[in-house]
Amino acid sequence: MTNAVLDTPSTMGSEPPSPDLPSGAHIRRFDRPTRLLHVVIMTTFLGLSATGLPLLFSDAPWSRVLASLFGGFHGAGLVHRVFGATLLAAVAWHVSNIAWRAIGRGERGLFWGPTSMVPQPRDVVHLVQQIRWFFGAGPRPRFEHFAYWEKFDYWAVLWGTLLMGAAGLILWFPQAASHVLPGWMFNVALFVHGAEATLAIGFIFVIHFFNGHLRPGKFPMDLVIFTGSISGDELREERAGEFARLVETGVLAQLAVPPPSAARSRRGHLIGTVGLTLGLGLVGLILYAVLR
Amino acid sequence: MRTLLRVLLTIACLLLGRAGVADAGQVAPKPPANDDCLACHGDPAAARANGTLVAVAASTFEASKHGPMACVDCHADLVALTEFPHPDTLKKVNCASCHDDVGATYHDSIHARAREKSGLNVAPACADCHGRHDIRGKADPKSRVTHAQIPTMCGTCHEGIKRRYDASAHAVALKKGDSRAPVCADCHTAHAIQRADTERSRLNATAECGSCHASVVESFTRTFHGKVTQLGSGRAAACADCHGAHDILPASNPASTVSPRNLQTTCGTCHQGANARFVQYDPHPNPRDYTRSAALWWANRFYWALIPGCFGFFGLHSLLWFWRSRKDAHAHGDTTR
């Protein structure tokens, strides 16, 4: 799976996907800060889940056991706050980075266009086409740089982090919050923190895991977020719109990079395996608590 | 007269004893019957040499829970008694010889440890609460340990606590004849009493309050206080930390710890500097009760739409994707897709 050549559908043979692209070449997709941001979000998200779930499911038989891994409730609370602050810092860095790219560097296409994260009419079209494809009523949509489910993931994480971060800070510093907020906001904050956590944990550890990693064609994981590059074949297959645009504008060759080294792929596999295992394990605990 | 009786009894016993031996060879002497004991102890003036009374009223004993039993069932060291009068000092009656489960529970209690380890002889043993020859079951209205009687019983030693309890909402309910109103033993237990400031006691107390105030405790378990308490931490507020223990009063009473005028002080015990806005926090929230908090109600509604909506849509999306991928892979004979 890691080797794009092995993954090439038989109909294509070993022909390069584009005349400008050497066979087996990869295309750069995520730069280093983006990959680092994903690892930080992934680590803090797992840590926040593992330390928060004992409280959310405080009546489940495993809640005390899970909390005891972090030194009991007080230890879990401390780790939760450290991870929470780290995640907020990472998101703050990301938002300021976007602002700098937009204003400082005057980067175009950040807020609109084929490479933008902002939802656009083409995403609605793609969603409809994808559903038609599910039922065999049409070809796969020609996705651009970000597909609609990736945009949903991105905005959900950004919105969720800001909302949960705000609620978390209110609960962390209630006296300070009470200078501006009425006390019943603590009730709302705790409720929102728990409900949003249920949504986020379920969404990331089931839907994002499936869309990004576990679905046929990617199973058991997609390494692109860890290695930073995608094979030319995969790009042409999965993101026909982007591929065609890159060929047309002649940028494809500029983005070509050598396939990731074995060491880098191994590291990606390791991080991905740990993340997927822990995430699915936590989902198992939730299902046990809910269905028991 | 008494001396004469004793002499006659002793002779009778000796004769009976000897007759027994003559009849059955090595059979042990017949234990003294209750009447034998009452021959001396039935006299209201019966006393030891030092003057302490040892009288037992036959009618009191017979009406007691142990009425059908023999004196020597409890005073076991007199079973083989042949000579009267018996020595002044007998072995202490061991209730646990029958009530072994209660005995074991009591043995771990703060009262037993005070007696046995610290030598605090005023700490109660069985008889101090249950009585001696007049023991009655707790369902018997004449018992010393009926539900309604327990505060008085415990109050004989714990006078100060009793005074505070008497002013509480629970005592008021008890006096009105509410059989569900908690008395000392409901929270502290009767035999397994422990220090009330241990973590375990604090955690158990929540369940005890919940045996009547079920919905209030349920709403408590939705809060940070309640969840932390459920996780076994004693540092977050549980029932008694806000409501008090012995002197619980309804919030409508201005003297109550949870009366609106006292909330800042009560919350401020843990949350230093709790201001008027801070105490608008609802320690017993109910997201389904619009009148209690509209904001919480709306938040609940919103997430009840959002969460099933998201999972429903993307769950179906994933299932269809999986189905289509397997179908396509099958068509191409490609097992990796």
Q: What is the largest CA-CA distance in chain A?
A: 68
Whole-angstrom Cα distance, residue B162 to residue B158?
Answer: 6
Cβ separation of B307 and A206 shorter than 8 Å?
A: no
Looking at 1.20.950.20, 1.10.150.130, 3.40.718.10, 2.60.40.420, the CATH number of the domain A23-291 comes to 1.20.950.20
The domain spans of chain A are 23-291
Closest approach of B325 to chain A, Cα-based (Å): 6
Cβ-based contacts of A133 with chain B (< 8 Å): 324
pLDDT reported for residue B206: 85
Closest approach of B201 to chain A, Cα-based (Å): 18
What ipTM, to 2 d.p.? 0.89
Q: In terms of pLDDT, which residue wins out, B61 or A14? A: B61
Cβ-based contacts of A175 with chain B (< 8 Å): 271-275, 278
Query: Is 70 exceeded by the pLDDT of residue A113?
Result: yes
Contacts for B60-66: CB closer than 8 Å, 24+ residues apart: B60/B133, B60/B134, B61/B133, B61/B134, B63/B134, B63/B136, B64/B131, B64/B133, B64/B134, B64/B135, B64/B136, B65/B135, B65/B136, B65/B137, B65/B140, B66/B133, B66/B135
Sequential pLDDT tens for chain B (337 residues): 555 556 555 555 455 555 444 444 456 678 888 998 998 899 998 888 888 889 999 999 999 999 999 999 999 988 887 787 888 888 889 999 999 999 999 998 999 999 999 999 999 999 999 999 999 998 999 999 999 999 999 999 999 999 999 999 999 999 999 989 999 999 888 999 988 877 777 777 888 899 899 999 999 999 999 999 888 888 899 999 999 999 999 999 999 999 999 999 999 999 999 999 999 999 999 999 999 999 999 999 999 999 999 999 999 999 999 999 998 888 876 554 4
pLDDT reported for residue B30: 81
Closest CA to A54 of A70, A39, A43: A70
Query: Is 80 exceeded by the pLDDT of residue A5?
Result: no
pLDDT reported for residue B131: 93
Summarised one tens digit per residue, pLDDT across range A52-81 is 999 999 999 999 999 999 999 999 999 999
Closest CA to A204 of A160, A164, A143: A160
Whole-angstrom Cα distance, residue B54 to residue B322?
Answer: 89
Cβ separation of B318 and A199 shorter than 8 Å?
A: no
Whole-angstrom Cα distance, residue B53 to residue B225?
Answer: 56
Evaluate the omega torsion of the peptide bond into residue A61 and state whether it is cis, within 30 degrees of 0: no
Average pLDDT over chain A, rounded to whole? 91
CB A115 within 8 A of CB A109: yes
Q: What is the largest CA-CA distance in chain B?
A: 118
Percent of chain A residues past pLDDT 70, beyond the cut = 93
Choose from A184, A196, A221 for mutation: most chain B CBs within 10 A.
Answer: A184
Q: Would you say how long chain B is, in residues?
A: 337
Summarised one tens digit per residue, pLDDT across range A203-243 is 999 999 999 999 988 899 999 999 999 999 999 999 999 99
pLDDT reported for residue B202: 77
Cβ-based contacts of B303 with chain A (< 8 Å): 191-192, 195-196, 198-199
pLDDT reported for residue B334: 55
Closest approach of A187 to chain B, Cα-based (Å): 7
Cβ separation of A183 and B282 shorter than 8 Å?
A: yes
Which residue, chain included where needed, has tokens 């001696």? Answer: B132
pTM: predicted TM-score of the whole model, two decimal places: 0.82
- At B319, give phi and psi (nearest 5°): -60, -45
Cβ-based contacts of A216 with chain B (< 8 Å): 322, 325-326, 329, 336-337
The domain spans of chain B are 2-93, 100-248, 293-337
Whole-angstrom Cα distance, residue B174 to residue B184?
Answer: 12
Whole-angstrom Cα distance, residue A148 to residue B204?
Answer: 51
